[in-house]
């Protein structure tokens, strides 16, 4: 069986032959920044993995031990390549169609955002209500503040969010005019529905989504703790990946709320 996947815009495509490694959830700060919530990855040996189109492919060296691959056109976070490793880790959210995979492990819980439980249970009770939120991309080319607390956070499992985040996204509503940028180096991708996804073109950190109707939301993963936020609901669960279950007991909506 050949698994095929792509970024949201199609400028990067890849394929891997089964069997694939079970999925690993990663809650480290780097993965949360880039994905906008937390990342998930499966992997395959180089001998059975192939990038079939690389027109939009860029790599970001986030640490001495690994490179992170993304699409510079739409910001989809796709690959993680450890130094000297003969396997490629890639996002199951970017795969087309059923994956047949299961989630096997979950890492770096100590770095998880304070608005959700990395073990999959109900979100923790709010303990902080900061009056100012600090946001940044992974490389530091984008930095901003906005009034806090983060408040209600919504997880989105639609195909677009899964492709760009590599797993699924989480965001909170905000007023764009309230963002105070200390550093700004943005790229925007216009979605088929007329929305705009803002991301860093250097490190692919997901930053915001501006809907066609003007509503605006910020990706929860780019906000540094404490946030004063709490995950409240899951939307577009009809499109969720087949490799994970939602176990936190929160409201679930097949489409939007």
Q: What is the pLDDT of residues 55-103, one digit of tens each?
A: 999 999 989 999 999 999 999 999 999 999 999 999 999 999 999 999 9
Question: What's the rounded mean pLDDT across residues 204-208?
Answer: 97
The answer to whether position 257 is within a domain reads no
When pLDDT is cut at 50, 70 and 90, the band that residue 257 belongs to is confident
Q: What percentage of the chain exceeds 70 in pLDDT?
A: 100
Per the CB < 8 A criterion, the answer to whether 62 and 142 are in contact is: no
pLDDT tops 90 at residue 202 = yes
Residue with tokens 């996204």: 169
What confidence score (pLDDT) does residue 81 get?
97
Q: Please state the domain count of the chain.
A: 2
| Residues 57 and 98 grouped into a single domain | yes
Q: Compute the distance between CA of residue 238 and CA of residue 241 in angstroms, rounded to an integer.
A: 9
225 vs 30 pLDDT, higher one:
30
- Find the CATH number of the domain harbouring 23: 2.170.150.70
> Which of residues 107, 136, 166 is at a domain's end?
107
What confidence score (pLDDT) does residue 126 get?
87
What confidence score (pLDDT) does residue 80 get?
98
The answer to whether position 234 is within a domain reads yes
Q: pLDDT tens digits for 101-157?
A: 999 999 999 999 999 999 999 999 988 899 999 999 999 999 999 999 999 999 999
Q: pLDDT tens digits for 184-193?
A: 999 999 998 8
Domain that holds residue 120: 113-252
Question: Which of these, 224, 231, 226, lies nearest to 249 by C-alpha position?
Answer: 231
pLDDT tops 90 at residue 3 = yes
- Other residues' Cβ atoms within 10 Å of the Cβ of residue 160: 21
Q: What is the pTM of this model?
A: 0.96
| Residues 184 and 136 grouped into a single domain | yes
Question: What's the rounded mean pLDDT across residues 184-213?
Answer: 96
């Amino acid at each position: 069986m050949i698994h095929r996947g792509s970024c949201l815009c199609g400028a990067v495509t890849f394929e891997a032959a089964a069997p694939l490694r079970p999925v690993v959830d990663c809650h480290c700060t780097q993965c949360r920044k880039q994905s906008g919530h937390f990342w998930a990855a499966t992997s395959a040996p180089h001998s059975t993995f192939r990038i079939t189109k690389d027109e939009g492919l860029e790599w970001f060296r986030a640490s001495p031990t690994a490179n992170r691959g993304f699409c510079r056109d739409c910001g989809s976070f796709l690959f993680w390549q450890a130094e000297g490793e003969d396997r490629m880790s890639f996002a199951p959210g970017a795969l087309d169609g059923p994956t047949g995979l299961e989630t096997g492990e979950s890492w770096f819980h100590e770095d998880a955002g304070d608005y959700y439980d990395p073990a999959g249970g109900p979100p923790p009770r709010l303990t902080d209500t900061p009056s100012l939120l600090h946001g940044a991309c992974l490389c530091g080319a984008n930095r901003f503040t906005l009034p806090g607390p983060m408040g209600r956070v919504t997880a989105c499992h639609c195909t677009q969010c899964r492709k760009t985040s590599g797993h699924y996204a989480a965001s909170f509503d905000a007023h764009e005019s309230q963002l105070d940028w200390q550093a700004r180096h943005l790229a925007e991708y216009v979605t088929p529905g007329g929305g705009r996804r803002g991301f860093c073109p250097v490190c692919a950190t997901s930053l915001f989504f501006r809907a066609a109707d003007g509503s605006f939301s910020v990706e929860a993963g780019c906000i540094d703790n404490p946030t004063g936020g709490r995950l409240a609901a899951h939307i577009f669960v009809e499109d969720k990946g087949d490799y994970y279950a939602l176990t936190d007991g929160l409201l679930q909506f097949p489409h939007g709320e």
